[in-house]
Amino acid sequence: MPIKNNASSAYLVAVLGLGAMGLPMATRLASQLTVHGFDISADRLALAAAAGIARFESARAAASGADAVLLAVRNADQLNDVLFGADGIAEVLDSGSVVILTSTVGMEAIPAAVARLAEHGIALVDAPLSGGPARAGTGDLLIVVGADPAALEQARPVLGLLASTLTIVGDRPGDGQALKTVNQLLCGVHIAAAAEALALATALGLDGARTLAALEAGAAGSFMLSNRGPRMLQAYAEGGAEVLSRLDIFVKDMGIVGKAARAAGLPAPVAAAAEQLYLLGQAQGLGTADDSAVIRVVAPSGPPH
């Protein structure tokens, strides 16, 4: 695959999807690269403009002439729509450019997208990430990559600015999705377990903040306990915790985990139990709440007042 010019000063990256992760990534990239941004939300476009990101009125307009397109989409349907739909960008991208998929969409969507992009001389860099909006804005993300080596080199100016930990899983798009599926199994289970633990502490009459501090200091500590725990303690306040990662994202991701496990013939009972908590939360109207609100599924009434 021919490689386009990737000198930083001339390198153009289009960021499509300026949501909670896309906007801080675009802002980070704009510190050294030329960035075009697009989102279907006028409010997100306004925030992008305030951050100094060049806004465009369509995905095609933003992507035209780009060395790389970074996609921050919600699911496989959005991926296919952005690439090949009525305003699909595949028709306007130059041969030798790359599409960097940062979202968790599952492995099943990847082969067809790779094949259709290849018809245009475009490569897919499968690069799902984790770390949250704050870390996205400082280039402190974990990114796992499955990509052809030449395509990976084309994407490095983007990945290098966003990742503090860049793990090359394999040279096939889909390898990144596979590892991210395993990652999300653990993340989803850890959040659910943290919710049960803090709900139990409250039911036993313990102070939530003191319990959280004690657990973090011992063998029971985890990143998700430390990250989501304080927000779980805020989940019963009016308005709940600040939404940094929506609960319905884990409905999607744990669905991907379950589908992958079944396809592999592997039982995953703990992941399945966690998935049910997120599904219950969504059914109870918590889908757009922060995922820490899953504690309200376990203990709907919260701590005594």
Burial class of 266 by CB neighbour count within 10 A (0 to 12, 13 to 18, 19+): exposed
Extents of the domains making up the chain? 8-172, 178-298
Q: What is the pLDDT of residue 301?
A: 87
Count the alpha carbons within 13 Å of 138 in the hemisphere toward its beta carbon. 5
Q: What are phi and psi of 289, to 5 degrees?
A: -80, 165
Q: What local confidence, expressed as pLDDT, does residue 8 receive? A: 59
| 8-172 CATH, one of 3.40.50.920, 3.40.50.300, 3.30.70.2190, 3.40.50.720 | 3.40.50.720
Q: Is the pLDDT of residue 83 over 90?
A: yes
Ranges of beta strands (E only) in 92-212 are: 98-101, 123-126, 129-130, 141-146, 163-170
Catalytic pick among 4, 180, 252, 259: 180
Q: Assess whether pLDDT exceeds 90 at residue 7.
A: no
Give me the helix-helix angle, 247-263 and 269-283, nearest 10°: 150
pTM: 0.90
pLDDT at 9: 59
Identify which of 66, 72, 256 has the alpha carbon closest to the alpha carbon of residue 162: 72
More confident position, 10 or 267: 267
Residues 6+ apart with CB under 8 A from 234: 240, 241, 242, 292
Per-residue pLDDT band at 305 (split at 50, 70, 90): low
Q: Which candidate, 172, 224, 160, places its Cα nearest to that of 198? A: 224
Q: Where do we find the tokens 């319905």?
A: 248
User: What are the tokens at 121?
Assistant: 């001389």
Pairing of strands 123-126, 129-130: unpaired
* pLDDT (0 to 100) of residue 182: 97
Write the class of the CATH domain 178-298: mainly alpha
Q: Which of 17, 6, 294 is nearest to 136 (CA)?
A: 17
Query: According to the model, what pLDDT value does residue 3 have?
Result: 46
Contact 73, 129 (CB under 8 A): no
Give the mean model confidence (pLDDT) for residues 83-90.
95
DSSP character string of 209-276 = HHHHHHHHTSTT--HHHHHHHHHHHTTTSTT-S--SSBHHHHHHHHHHHHHHHHHTT---HHHHHHHH
Per-residue pLDDT of 151-210, as tens digits, reads: 999 999 999 999 999 999 999 999 999 999 999 999 999 999 999 999 999 999 999 999
3-state helix, strand, coil in the chain (%, to 5): 50, 15, 35
pLDDT at 142: 96
Residue 2 has pLDDT above 50, yes or no: no
Taking residues 220-238, report their average pLDDT: 96
H/E stretch holding 173 reads none
* pLDDT averaged over every residue in the chain: 95
> Which residues share a beta bridge with 141?
163
How far is 127 from 145, CA to CA, in rounded Å? 4
Residue type, 8: S
Is 180 catalytic? The answer is yes
- Count, in order, helices (H) and strands (E) of the chain: 13, 9
pLDDT at residue 286 greater than cutoff 90: yes
How far, CA to CA in Å, does 161 sit from each of 29, 74, 129, 158?
6, 22, 13, 6
